[in-house]
A and B are shown apart, each in its own frame.
Chain A
Amino acid sequence: MAKRDLLSMSDLSRADVELILDTAESFLPVLKRDIKKVPTLRGRTIVNMFFESSTRTSTSFELAAKRLSADTMSIKASGSAVDKGESLKDTILTLSAYSPDIIVMRHPHIGAGRLAARYTTASVINAGDGKYQHPTQALLDVFTLRQTLGKDLAGLNVWIVGDILHSRVARSDIEAFQLLGMQVTVAGPPPLIPRDIEALGVKVAYDLGKLREADVVYLLRMQMERMQAGANYVPSLREYSALYGMTAARLRAGQKVMHPGPINRGVEISAEVADHPDTLILEQVEAGVAVRMAILYRTIVGYDERQPGERGAA
């Protein structure tokens, strides 16, 4: 079987996505048991390489691998040979000498996963590459929606609000939402909306006047480095919050609110919204483990088996 990488959402068909989501669902009971472990990937080796800081993604990948009984190694850029000037190519070649089955990689540069995939026989799973893709986040986002709103997400309207320009979550989620038939609007300050993004089939809004048409409001973190003096993406945090911060007053009853975390309370999201039952932030975190278990499992056993569950959850 040829190795299968997961580098961007475009590596997946709609059927692949549905298979991953069904597989994730079959793993949910495992995570609710007292002994939260299955022997499915015993003897398999998974390397987690995080060249960029991460809490949620790295811990949930590690937990997912352990729940499946795989052997895991975690490498961070600091304290490794990367500090000594080793190139990405050489780091990958070196780790590949241990014959891992999967390399999970986060890297600050776009396309780093694809570059790594060229130099290893391991399957590479992209856990975030610069501003381009974060496919496992997108998959857990659609999984969360499916668990909340039901299997058919087609026709739902989602607004992604905030710094679209620098967001790999936005780029992956646009593809994932569209793949499942959802309509996407991106909203935010004009300097933070990429030029020509309409070509991706999304609508663009510079204000939240029509936000109530959304079934789902997906908030992005306002990254503090964008707020530095002279960057001029927005004049101030204060004005950003006034125009785009999500408050209860902006929302109508029943609208679901999502956020990839970490959140800045009082900036892109008010405390009231953050703690509201229609806000799915913790559901997203919880979904992370099951979805990443499903991705690790499918990457190793393949996407051909269309009967999910029994073996995985056994």
Chain B
Amino acid sequence: MSEHVSSLKLYIGIWLALLAGTLLTVVAAGIDLGPFNAVVALTIATIKATLVVLFFMHVKYTHEKLTKVVIVSALFWLAILLALSMADYTTRLWT
């Protein structure tokens, strides 16, 4: 058995970090940061998602490089979808 087994302490730590992130995002939403409210909320969400992917989904310890290629490709295609759609909709009123 060569599969990596994470320690209980690591799992509890990630769990606490995710709960703290949830609390932080609720508190941050109540503070007026102007346009940065969305930036802060999405940054916290992305940090939480990254913790889940790396540690709960074991991507940090995977031997299979193709798994990482699949994840990066999926995110890249998602970025194309969002970026090009918004590039269209945000510039329609330009004259």
Whether A associates with B in a native complex is: no
Which chain A residues have a beta carbon within 8 Å of chain B's beta carbons? none
Which chain B residues have a beta carbon within 8 Å of chain A's beta carbons? none
